[in-house]
Chain A
Amino acid sequence: MWTIGRNQLRAEWTKLTTEPGTAWILAFLCLLTVAVGAATAAVTRCGAGTGSAVDPTRVSLTGIEVGQAVVAVLAVLVISGEYSTGMIRTTFAAMPRRWTVLAAKAAVLTAVVLAVAVVTVAASLLAGRLLLTGNGITAAHGFAVVSLAHGPTVRAAVGSVLYLALVGLLTLGIATIVRDSAAATGAVLGVLYVPPVVALFLGSDPAWQRWVERYTPTNAGLTILNTTGLHGEVISPWAGLGVLAAWAAAALLAAGVLLRLRDA
C-alpha cells in the first residue's frame, strides 16, 4: 500500500502546478516572508540593555512566522480543494489506494515547499545581514553576524527550510481530517498561532508554561531559529523540530486512517 510510482507523483504534480493559484501563493510566500524579515531587521537597533540579546539570525527569519500561514494555505488547497469541487472522487477512481494518494500529495507538496523555502530563507538572511549591519548590529558591537560561516546560523537556515516543509505536512494531515477548506484553514492557523500566546499568559503557572513551550508545534519548532541564548530554551533546536515532525507524522497518520475509513 506504500507503493508510490512515478505516475501517482506525476498526477499530483500536474494537479498542483496547473492550479492557477499555486504560483501566486508560492510567490507570495517568498515575498511576504522576506518583507516581514526585512522590516523587522530595519527597525532593530542595538538598544540600551545588554545588546547581545539581539539574535540577528532570528530577527532576519521573523518572516517565517508569517510565511507558515501561506504554506498552510497551499497545503489546505492541495486536499480541501479536491473536496470542495468533488475532484476527490475522480482522484480515488483513478488511484484507489488512498494511502498512496496521500503519500503522493505529501511528496509533491514537500518538494515544492522545500524548493521555494530555500530561496526564501536565503533571501531573508541576505536582507537581514545587509539591514542589520547598517543598523550597527555588527561583530564589532558583540553580535553574531548573519553569516554562513557561523555554525548555528547554518543550522537555523537549514532548520527553517525544514520547518516550513513540516508545517506543510502538518497542515496536509489536518486538512485531510477536517476536509472543509475554511474550517481546515482556521483549525491549522489555530494550532500554529494559539499556543505561543497561551504560553505567554501562563506566566503564573511555570510548569504548564514549560509544557506548552516544549510540546506544541510552533513553540518547539521555532527554537530551530535561535542562534543565541540557547541554554535558556526549554528544548534544544533539533529536538524542537523533532516535536513538530512528530505532530506532522501523527496528523498524517490520523489522516491516512480516516481517509481509508470514510467515504469520499
Chain B
Amino acid sequence: MTATMTPYRPPQQAGRDGFAQLVHAEWTKFRSLRGWVIAMVIGAVLIAVVGVLLPRGDSQCGTASGAACLAQVPTGPGGEAVNDSYYLAAQPLADDGSITVQVTSLTGMISAGNGGFVTPNSPPPGTLTPGLVPWAKAGIIITAGIRPGSAYAAMMVTGSHGVRMQYDYTGDVAGLPEAASPRWLRLTRSGDVITGYDSADGKGWTEVGSVRLAGLTGTVQAGMFAASPLDFTPNFPTYSESGGSTSASVATGTFNDVDLRGGAAGGRWAGQAVGATGANYAGPRIGLRQAGRRFTVTGSGDIGPVVAGMVNSSYDTGTLADHLFGVFIGLLIMIVIAAMFMTVEYRRGLIRITLAASPRRGRLLAAKAVVIGLATFVLGSAAVAVAVIAGSRIAHNGGIYVLATGWPVQARVILGTGAMLAVASVLALSIGTMLRRSVVAVAAVVVAIVLPYILGVSGVLPASAAEWVLRVTPAAGFAIEQSVPQYLQVIGHYGPPDYYPLTPWAGLAVLCAYAAAALGLAAWLLRRRDA
C-alpha cells in the first residue's frame, strides 16, 4: 500500500518578506549590540549635559546679580531685545501731522583705541578722531514715547548706507539710491500709519515706505534725532566668535528748514538723551544746538535689535546655539556607530547571511537607514530639547539674556538638530556601505562631517575659507542650530556658533543633498558588487 506523504509545512505567515519585517530585523541587530546602545546613549547624554552646563552666566550689576540684571533690558513691540538710546529733539504731536527737514550734513567722531562705553558723565577715555561708523544715523523720527522700546518710524541719513527708513527696531528700507547732499526727508502721520518720503531737491518726493505701528495712539513725539553705534573692527582673519574690538562713537546731524505740521502753536524743540541708563553711551558733546533756523543734533547709541555676541549690548547675551556645543561630540559618536552599522557586517561575513535572507539589497540599505535615522533622530532630539530648554533657563537665571526663545524657534532648533543628526548618520551609513572597511569608513565620516565643522568654527582658517567650508561641506547642516536672525542694519560678528553663512533650512538641505547622493551611490555599489 502506497500512500503519498505530504510533508508538513508550517503555515506561511503573510508578509514575512515585507519592509516592516526587514526594519524589525535590522532594529534587532542594532539594539542587541550592547556597546552600540551604550555609546549612543552616552552621545545623547553628552549633548544634554554639556548644553546644561555651558554657559551659565554670573552677571553682577550693583547689588543685584543673575536674572535681576535683565529687568532693565528694553524690548521692542515685537518682543525682541532692543537697543534704544539716541539723542532726540522733539515736540509733541497730538494728532495727524508731518515733519519735513533738510539734512545738510552728517559728521561723526570715533573714540580711538577705546573699547568701552562713553557715559554721560565721563568723557571718553580715548581721543575722539573725526570719522563716521557705517550705521551712524541722523534724521527725523516719530515715536510713541521716550521710554526705551517704544514703537517708532524714522527717516535718516546714514554713514555709508544712504538714506533709510527704519521702524520698530527690525524694519529697514533703503531710500533713493543716489547719495546727494543735502537731502530732504519727510514723515507723515495719519492715525497709526507713518509714511516716509525722500527727496533730493525738496520738491519732488518719493515714498520710501508706509508702516502701521501698533501702539502709536494719542500724543506722540516728532522731531530730529542722532545716534551712532559702537565702531566694530573684526579681528581679521578669523571667523570665530572670538574676534573684534569696539569703540564708542558720536554722530552729528545738521538740519535746516525744520517744518512740523500738526504740532502745538509756538512749540519749542526740547532735547533729551533717550535711554540714558544701561546701554546708553552719550558723550560730552551730546546735545541740541540752534543757530537761527539751523539745528545740530549730536547723539550716540543705536536704535535697533540686539544681536548675539555682545557687540552692541552692555549686558551678556546668548542664543540657543550656545547650548548646542555638545552636539558635535554626540554627532561624532553617532556617525561612527552609523558607519559601523554596515561595516561590521563585512568583517565577519554576516553580510552574506543578511543578503541571503533579504536578497533585495536596496531595501536592506533602506531598512538600515530607517533604523539608524530614527534612532539618532529620537535620541538626538530628546537630548537637544533638554540642552536648549534647561540650558537657556539656567543661563537666564545666571543673568544671560537668551535671545529668541519663542516656541517656534525652539521647536525648529530641537527637531532640526535631531534631523541633522539623523541625516548625518544616514550619510555615515552610506559611506560605510561604500568603503566596507571599518577603519577607513570611520575616518572618512569624521573627516567629511565633523572636521569641516571644526575648521569652520575654530578660527584656524581665514574668514573667507571658513565661510566656504560651512557652505559647501556636509557641516553646512549645523546651520539649523542658528536661532537668531542676522540684521544687515546692525554690525556684529556674524560667525558661528551663533550665525552661519547659510540659512538654517538651506544648510540642512546641503547636508541632505550629500546624504541622498551618498545613499544612491551606496545602493548602486551594494547591488553591483559581490558581498
* A contact residues vs B (CB 8 Å cutoff): 21, 39-40, 43-45, 47-51, 53-54, 58-59, 62, 65-66, 69-70, 72-73, 76-77, 80-81, 84, 181-186, 189-190, 193-194, 196-205, 222
Contacts and interface: CB of A to CB of B under 8 A. Distances in A.
Contact of B462 (A43, A200, A205): A43
A199 B459 CA distance: 11
Interface of B: 54-57, 233-237, 240-242, 322, 325, 328-329, 332-333, 336, 339-340, 343-344, 347, 438-443, 446-447, 450-451, 453-455, 457-465, 468, 497
A229 to B, nearest CB: 11
A49 B231 CA distance: 13
Contacts of B438: 84, 181-182, 185
A185 B236 contact: no
Contact of A186 (B347, B440, B442, B447): B442
Contacts of A43: 462, 464-465, 468
Contact of B439 (A58, A76, A205, A222): A76
Contacts of A81: 439
Given A182-B439, A186-B442, A65 B464 contact: no
16 contacts: A39-B465, A40-B465, A47-B237, A59-B462, A66-B447, A76-B439, A77-B439, A185-B438, A189-B446, A196-B454, A197-B457, A200-B241, A201-B54, A201-B322, A203-B55, A204-B56
A44 B465 contact: yes
Contact of B234 (A49, A51, A77, A186): A49
A190 B440 CA distance: 15
Contacts of B441: 182
B462 A54 contact: yes
A197 B242 CA distance: 12
A41 to B, nearest CB: 9
Tell me what chain B mostly uses at the interface: helix, strand, loop, or mixed: helix
Contacts of A72: 443
A90 B443 CA distance: 27
Nearest to A51: B236
Closest 9 CB pairs of A and B: A49-B236, A182-B438, A186-B336, A185-B442, A201-B325, A204-B55, A73-B443, A44-B462, A189-B446
A200 B459 contact: yes
A73 B451 CA distance: 15
Contact of B457 (A181, A184, A200): A200
A194 B57 CA distance: 23
Contacts of A49: 233-237
A84 B347 contact: yes
Contacts of A80: 439
A182 B460 contact: no
A204 to B, nearest CB: 4
A194 B46 CA distance: 13
Nearest to B234: A49
A69 B460 contact: no
A40 B234 CA distance: 20
B37 to A, nearest CB: 14
Given A49-B236, A197-B325, A201-B54, A185 B461 contact: no
Given A70-B443, A200-B458, A204-B54, A44 B328 contact: no
B333 A40 contact: no
Given A49-B237, A54-B237, A193-B450, A185 B457 contact: no
Contacts of B56: 204
Contacts of B241: 200, 203
A200 B462 CA distance: 16
A189 B443 contact: yes
A28 to B, nearest CB: 10
Among B234, B237, B241, B332: residue with most chain A CB under 10 A:
B237
Nearest to B497: A201
B462 to A, nearest CB: 5
A53 B57 CA distance: 31
Contact of A185 (B234, B237, B333, B439): B439
Contact of A44 (B347, B451, B464): B464
A121 B223 CA distance: 64
Given A84-B347, A193-B446, A48 B236 contact: yes
A54 B382 CA distance: 42
Nearest to B464: A43
Contacts of A70: 443
Contacts of B465: 39-40, 43-44, 62
Contacts of A193: 332, 446, 450-451, 454
Contacts of B336: 182-183, 185-186
Contacts of A183: 336
A205 B55 CA distance: 9
